[in-house]
Structure 1
């Protein structure tokens, strides 16, 4: 749809208010995006044009731009339809213009929308329209007396006549945009979400037991509880209903409907109309409103969940890389053996093996000998151990093996890493092309090794949804989820930058302006012609034209090339500015790069031009000071406590080190090395009020925690990061007399048809856990433990 200037301006103003910018900034950014520019490119290299909008603002802008343009297109369609019917008025046109959401626009259009033959239409065909008008006009008259004058061949008696009049008046009410808006606002504020177990489903749906008799305000239901209840409803465990408060809410809704009929007297007509208003609410409007509220709740919960997925994925992708070191990857297994793969510093596979240290073979000595052989042969510096089944047993095997190394030999650093998505990658077409002669099971070990070296470079090979970064992954809109997670991958890859001469095609595919086809073309060109010696050589790649080059060049790095600036994030279009800065310092590029002291003496304002403003010049100075800087943190690992290998080894009061595996709205999940993540509830994350757990922790963080509660039979672990070691939580729980079942999420194992391992903190299982207050900072109790799930 071609937007006129007035519409474009309105959209820009709306978005500007939402993202805290000016309409001109929004308009400029929208123009660049419409021309094909990517968010990472606009955020980094077009700051002068957009006034410095960051990638978060631009992502919101792009998302809202699509919605508001669809709204405008629909607005135009609605206006044209009503005008074609000859029913457009000034007031109606004003209402259509003022509608701010698609829902509000559809409410206005409802009376004019072409529809199938209704009961009200039939009643009018039977001559009952005047009867409805007569009842509305004379509130003192008896409706039955009025109805007697409208009997006919098609209207057998007074009751049929009144039913027809009722259908006509009711249709007017159900198509009254003002009434619909009032009812929607009332219910959004007052409605309750109620869940009740279906008789006979108590045992089968035990994991949803917190919702067997549950009710709370619609407006305050957090994402994880909403999705848990919807899953329980879909699985036939509970009935789920949304409606006004039983204590007078229905009567208030009926009164709101009646108010639009101006029923103010006790005349017979008004009494009949009030009854008819109640019938309209019960039979017509309440169902429509319930469906709308359920849909809105689902959308709201999904959006919140997707935001959690996106933040967690970003943390995983931007986790600290261990670096280019020879690495041994171990994919633990019991009966099928531990799969081992050695990769060199560049990720090339050097060796593979399968070890059988566990049942049924119990070849511990042979496994130790094999590990020692691989370590010695390939000078292993890192050992990556997948965190799946037999992870702790495998880690113990490695620890025992490292003790056998000769005195003076430096032992490799062992690290337990998340293997979420490794099996998906192993069986993928990409893995088959990359390792055509390697067994599927061994490909997983390669992936585990590489993701320790560089999480970003390896994780981009896996569909984001398979990495496992949140709750109820398979219950949300998959298209919306995929789009959001792909945006996160794109932002992460471009924030770090990519080595043009070593990057795989899957990694290059996420670089601004490229995509799978051009990424494959770059790799093919590199294979045929050798390493690129400059960024400008990219223009020799088949199908990579000036537009794609402009988008991608700044995010691609070439180390030790003919142009030193190619190793930085300075865009080729700004090389002249960089060279002027270098000349002003009386140096050459190679000697100046990294010399912070010399660059501190440069005034950025002196190099501003019509094309390149102060933001770009400052970025160039920053890049010259720290060329090719990696925004990711320094690599460090958690050290699991000796002798703590399973949940039964945990005791309240233990202080342990662990790795944050996932962050949810109600807290953070931490791997302390016992095959079962513990939960640090939001109230136990810090010695202060925490509204959002992401303020304190992110996936991949190494943290110290105190064990607060252990429930081995139900596989639940409560942890605390507070200085008091969770004492406040214990006191509160004791005061309540033990576990507070609360209204937490479903407990334990995965439901049938659940997602792959990794869809939740360790797999697609339901999670939940309601704090004592909706603020999320209630005391830690069993409700928090209910969010636990087996890895």
Structure 2
């Protein structure tokens, strides 16, 4: 099967769109660039559709690579026939391919191999034929020094038969079917670990059984984690008698001594070879599906987090709260630069709240602070209450900001390179302040797994997780666009076509030559060639450039089209920008060409109406219930304001202003059935919740969003 047909069979996308997308990918074009600037060639495919083409292209290439390896192995064994070659070349499923190859696969020393060396294969063939009348007499002919009795000869023959049965594709597929449809996953607690404190979070699975194909991804991953940590044992089970009966129906066609030997061989093949291998296969397959589900949730959450509302370019005072070690305070300018840092001690044991308030007040005045960002960790509520008691000479908005991953950033090489003369506490405070100004620009510096918006992210396939999260970050960065004159190396590295090395070169050029004044100047960056410029230019913004289009999502390759539009309208390009009345009247068909079609022209008009518009909402102030400070302040029936801080397949977690987040189970999300949690809530959404249940001992809070007006 050809690549095009394979992808089409998996996606149902139009052939021309797939074909052209593959060409563009082979030309080293990125997904954001293709989806934004090559709509004519792809037939207007979006990022998700192009991403699926990338995925299936990789699957096909992996399959073809494995086929070549198998064909080569079969040639070396001199067993490759033209019929077998055609059969292998037509396969589109890796599992089917491995089943076909199984009989030819070089095996380690097995019982069957030993039996063959002892000359028992002819006896095995006779038993399989089921035509031998006096089996004991026939078996006695195979007695040797190595095979001392008739029973030993029959047992050795059965080992060979068991291997043949194991290699039969129809048998394997039938057991697979039974595992996929009827398997149960069963758990038992390890008695010695039952009272272990760490085991208690898994106590729901101390004695658990359910249909494997109905086990949701989060529960399956939780069970596997509990097993990995040694608290439970996991077994996959099906009806063994039913499976054996199905196998006998396919193999036995007589009622003699041979059939009795075959029954024993079938049982051996099932218990020793087939079930262990195929139950592991279904377990691995279920793990892959669970991983896929968890990764999708994480990716969706990460996208919402990265596209969270920015406050924008403001002078910010950021506080990383603490008790004994004090609150680390930094003042940042509108570009996120560090202007000042100090530690204040408003809480126990020093309790210098008066001194702290005076210092905050003086800093707000001295650095013209417009907003205050407070980390949501230890002493957050106490610090927030202190700040909200203060009266400033002007309006100063107060925000509580998630600290998730801030400590990872503060100890990272990125942070050390940015602030070599400051310790981790100052860097952490800077990160909190910058997150308020622009979540995307700051969070790209942190390993996405450390941001805390996934489920079981450390248990899933790490390569697949990284690939998925990198794709999300790349998509978010390019959908927003990047100011090339203020962006960090981390942010620039996610721009289409740029990457880490060119990002470093851009920043180095900027440091040595000053701010970029035009997109054309980007070509002067060392090692940034035409391809990288083509891929990245449309996503890089230059504020106050001579050409106003340099601060827009219009690609430089389309500048001439806009100049022609302006000329036809008898105005300048600057006059055209933002002039909705004129733009809406332009007859776009007039400007189409072999490379520029209506999809691109419509994008251009849309961009010219609001050039460089940030697609994200603006940050909004939020206040928790000031009477709720710890879990013991909660009681059933309370209505509380909260912020969604994590979304899973089974519900969402809501920050209600205390250390422990509460869970709104999927069944308590809405007054209707909910199949997808993300359809009801989004990350950082401000919600009102009702307290359903509080388990102080286990530090668990059950919340509801049902019947709340």
Determine whether 1:25 maps to 2:14. no
**Maintained 8 Å contact 2:689/2:708:** no
**Aligned-partner Cα distance in 1 for 2:234–2:396:** 54
| Bigger Cα displacement from structure 2, 388-397 vs 20-29 | 20-29
1:286 equivalent to 2:279? Answer no
- Correspondent of 1:304 among 293, 302, 313: 293
Tell me how far 1:346 sits from its aligned partner: 0.9
Partner deviation per Cα, 1:453-491 (whole Å, 9 max, x = no partner): 000111111122222221112112222211211111111
Q: Name the residue aligned to 2:207.
A: 213
Q: CA RMSD in A?
A: 1.7
**CA distance in 2 between partners of 1:213 and 1:534 (Å):** 66
Q: CA deviation at 1:700?
A: 1.6
Cα distance change, pair 387–283 in 1 and its aligned pair in 2 (3 A): same
| Structure 1 match to 2:370 | 381
1:559 is matched with which residue? Answer: 543
The alignment status of 1:572 with 2:556, answered yes or no, reads yes
Deviations 1:711-755 (A, max 9, x none): 223222222222258xxxxxxxxxxxxxxxxxxxxxxxxxxxxxx
SS of aligned partner of 1:150: coil
User: How much has 1:513 moved relative to structure 2?
Assistant: 0.8
CA deviation after TM superposition for structure 1 residue 638, in Å: 2.6
Matched, 1:646 2:630: yes
Which residue of 2 is the match for residue 755 of structure 1? none
Report the Cα offset of residue 549 of structure 1: 0.6
Residue 140 of structure 1 and its aligned partner are, at CA, apart by 6.2
Q: Give the TM-score, by structure 2 length.
A: 0.97
Alpha-carbon contact 1:139-1:270 (below 8 Å) kept? no
Question: What is residue 485 of structure 1 aligned with on the other side?
Answer: 469
Matched, 1:696 2:696: no
Q: Given that residues 316 and 331 in structure 2 are in contact (C-alpha distance below 8 angstroms), is that contact kept between their aligned partners in structure 1?
A: yes
Q: 2: distance between equivalents of 1:491 and 1:667?
A: 26
Give the secondary structure class of the aligned counterpart of 1:475.
Answer: coil
Compute the displacement of 1:90 (Å): 5.5
- The range that moved more, 283-292 or 319-328, is 283-292
Q: Which residue of 2 aligns with 1:464?
A: 448
Say whether residues 1:187 and 2:179 are aligned partners.
Answer: yes
Is 1:167 aligned with 2:159?
Answer: yes
How many angstroms does 1:128 deviate by?
A: 1.2
Equivalent positions of 1:296-445 (< 5 A) are: 296-400=285-389, 402=390, 404-405=391-392, 409-445=393-429
Deviations 1:476-522 (A, max 9, x none): 22222112111111111000001111112211111111111111111
Q: Do 2:130 and 2:254's aligned partners in 1 also have CA atoms closer than 8 Å?
A: no
1:438 and 1:137 mapped to 2: Cα distance? 81
Structure 2: distance between partners of 1:711 and 1:115? 55
Q: Is the 8 A contact 2:130 2:259 kept in 1?
A: no
Alignment of structure 1 residues 33-44 onto 2, 5 Å: 33-44=25-36
The one-character-per-residue Cα deviations of 1:639-667 (angstroms, maximum 9, x if unpaired) are 21221222222233322221111110011
8 Å Cα contact 2:319/2:329 also seen in 1:
yes
Residue number among 225, 233, 237 corresponding to 1:231 in the alignment: 225
| SS at structure 2 position matched to 1:74 | helix
CA distance in 2, matches of 1:237, 1:542: 56
Match in the other structure for 1:71: 63
Report the equivalent of 2:97. 105
Q: Is the 8 A contact 1:129 1:168 kept in 2?
A: yes
Q: Does 1:496 align with 2:465?
A: no
- Which residue does 1:138 correspond to in 2? 130
Taking the TM superposition and a 5 Å limit, the aligned residue runs for 1:89-100 are 89=81, 92-100=84-92
SS in structure 1 at match of 2:209 = strand
Given candidates 241, 244, 248, the residue that maps to 1:251 is 241
Contact 1:135–1:141, Cα closer than 8 Å, also in 2: no
| CA separation of 1:17 and 1:583: change in aligned 2, threshold 3 A | farther
Whether 2:59 is the aligned partner of 1:59: answer no
More moved, 80-89 vs 293-302: 80-89
Instruction: Report the CA distance shift for 1:286/1:158 in structure 2 as closer, same or farther (over 3 A).
Output: same
Equivalent of 1:710 in 673, 694, 697: 694
Distance in 1, matches of 2:320 and 2:173, equals 57
Q: Partners in 2 of 1:429 and 1:65 — Cα distance?
A: 35
Structure 1 residues 83 and 256, CA, compared in 2 at 3 Å: closer, same or farther? farther
Partner residue, 1:785: none
Instruction: Report the alpha carbon displacement of residue 139 of structure 1 after superposing the two structures with TM.
Output: 4.6
Give me the TM-score of the superposition, normalised by structure 1: 0.87
- 5+ unaligned residues in a row in structure 1: which ranges? 1-6, 726-791
Indicate how the Cα distance of structure 1 residues 432 and 724 shifts in structure 2: closer, same or farther if over 3 A, else same: closer
CA–CA distance in 2 between the matches of 1:547 and 1:532? 19
Q: How much has 1:243 moved relative to structure 2?
A: 2.1
Cα distance between partner residues in 1 of 2:578 and 2:634? 49
Structure 2 matches for 1:575-724, cutoff 5 A?
575-723=559-707
* Gap change, CA 1:138 and 1:489, over 3 Å in 2: closer
SS of 1:634's partner is coil
Q: Are the equivalent residues in 2 in contact too, given 1:391–1:675 (CA < 8 A)?
A: no
Would the aligned equivalents of 1:208 and 1:232 in 2 still touch at CA under 8 Å?
A: yes
Contact 2:374 / 2:401 at 8 angstroms: preserved in 1?
yes
State the SS of the aligned residue for 2:458: helix
Distance 1:98 1:221 in 2: 34
1:18 positional shift: 3.1
Distance 1:138 1:516 in 2: 68
Q: Does the CA-based 8 Å contact 2:10-2:56 persist in structure 1?
A: no
Q: 2:42 — aligned with what?
A: 50
Offset of residue 61 of structure 1: 1.7
Task: Work out which of the residue numbers 247, 251, 266 in structure 1 matches 2:255.
Answer: 266
Partners of 2:178 and 2:521 in 1: how far apart? Answer: 63
* Whole-angstrom CA distance in 1 between matches of 2:708 and 2:687: 15
**Whole-Å Cα distance in 1 between the matches of residues 506 and 556 of structure 2?**
18
Give the secondary structure class of the aligned counterpart of 2:144: coil
What's the offset of the Cα at 1:118?
A: 2.6
Change beyond 3 A, Cα 1:652–1:53? same
Confirm or deny: 8 A CA contact 1:258 1:278 kept in the other structure.
no
Asked if structure 2 preserves the Cα contact closer than 8 Å seen for 1:662 and 1:699, the reply is yes
Choose 615-624 or 99-108, whichever is displaced more: 99-108
- The CA deviation string for residues 360-416 of structure 1, in whole angstroms up to 9 with x for no partner, is 21212111111112112112111111111111111112112x2x43xxx33411111
Contact 2:217 2:294 in 1 (8 A): yes
In structure 2, C-alpha distance between the alignment counterparts of 1:142 and 1:299, rounded to whole Å: 51
* Count of matched residue positions in the alignment of Structure 1 and Structure 2: 707
- Distance in 1 between the 2:83 and 2:500 partners? 52
- Structure 2, unpaired ranges of 5+: none
Q: Identify the range of structure 1 (318-327 vs 277-286) with the bigger mean alpha-carbon deviation.
A: 277-286
* Rounded Cα–Cα distance in structure 1 between residues aligned with 2:15 and 2:195: 57
**Could you tell me which residue of structure 2 aligns to residue 508 of structure 1?**
492
Answer yes or no: is 1:158 the counterpart of 2:150.
yes
